[in-house]
Structure 1
Amino acid sequence: MRTSNTVGRYGEDLAARYLSNHGFAVLERNWRCALGEIDIVAREGDTLVVCEVKTRRGLNYGSPLESITYRKLTTLRQLAGRWLQTHDLRPAEIRIDVVAVLFEPNTPPRLDHVRGVA
């Protein structure tokens, strides 16, 4: 894992696998529009879940969860609306989750799933 893109992609792969293993149906990954990108769009029962994945190789710059700003949450809300406009789905609920992935030397990756951050 040399570049940040490689680390980020691996973190997203782990997050998608984690969500699938915990009963989520992953509908789409890396969906893009002019506003930005949604890392993972999933469904948990009747709830549409827009999931942001944050991956770090250590805690030198803080935890992955600390990098989620109010501005990012606002953008994710807008992206969720845009995604719904382009797909023919009417979920009962919409939720924004974060999966934080932390890689530290000599330990397995740690995943923290925070539901309903916004």
Structure 2
Amino acid sequence: MDAHLALGRYGEELAARYLRDRGIRVLERNWRCPEGEIDIIALDGDCLVVCEVKTRGGTVTGDPVEAVTWEKVSRLRRLAAAYLRSRPGSVAHARVDVIGVLAVRGRPPVVRHVEAVGA
């Protein structure tokens, strides 16, 4: 596995742990359908959380959260709808969250959680 993929997996693991530590139940990771992939699907009370995780090893290209474009948020909304269609009656509503993980070598990782992006 190359370093980029390993960094991404590390960030997704930290993000899942972060959500669990806050009482948010992780339902699935790396859920795929023909339209794309959702990094983390979770349940926060009665709200489905579709979570995009961005991990960076530095800030040369900006904060990891800044890497999620409006186009990506729109795609995540479509993917959330596809997930809900595949599980009718599971939850009443959904939101899109972004978790940025800054993992600079030699420092503790920094996790930034932005809820309800584009709401």
Q: TM-score range by the shorter chain?
A: over 0.9
Q: What residue in structure 1 maps to residue 32 of structure 2?
A: 32
- 2: CA distance between counterparts of 1:2 and 1:84? 33
Please list every run of at least 4 consecutive aligned residues from structure 1 whose deviation after the TM superposition is greater than 6 angstroms: none
* Percent identity of paired positions between Structure 1 and Structure 2: 51
3-state SS of 1:43 partner: strand
Alignment: residue pair count:
118
Q: What residue in structure 2 maps to residue 47 of structure 1?
A: 47
Q: Does 1:10 align with 2:10?
A: yes
Q: What residue in structure 2 maps to residue 112 of structure 1?
A: 112
- 2: CA distance between counterparts of 1:108 and 1:52? 21
Displacement of 1:2: 5.7
Unaligned runs of 5+ in 1: none
RMSD in angstroms over aligned alpha carbons? 1.4
| Superimposed CA distance per residue, residues 12-63 of structure 1 (whole angstroms, 9 cap, x where no aligned partner) | 0000011011000101000011111000000010111000000000011111
Q: What residue in structure 2 maps to residue 97 of structure 1?
A: 97
Unaligned runs of 5+ in 2: none
3-state SS of 1:80 partner: helix
- 1: CA distance between counterparts of 2:115 and 2:8? 20
**Which deviates more, 103-112 or 83-92?**
83-92
3-state SS of 1:112 partner: strand
Q: What residue in structure 1 maps to residue 84 of structure 2?
A: 84
TM-score by length of 2: 0.93
Amino acid at match of 2:83: W
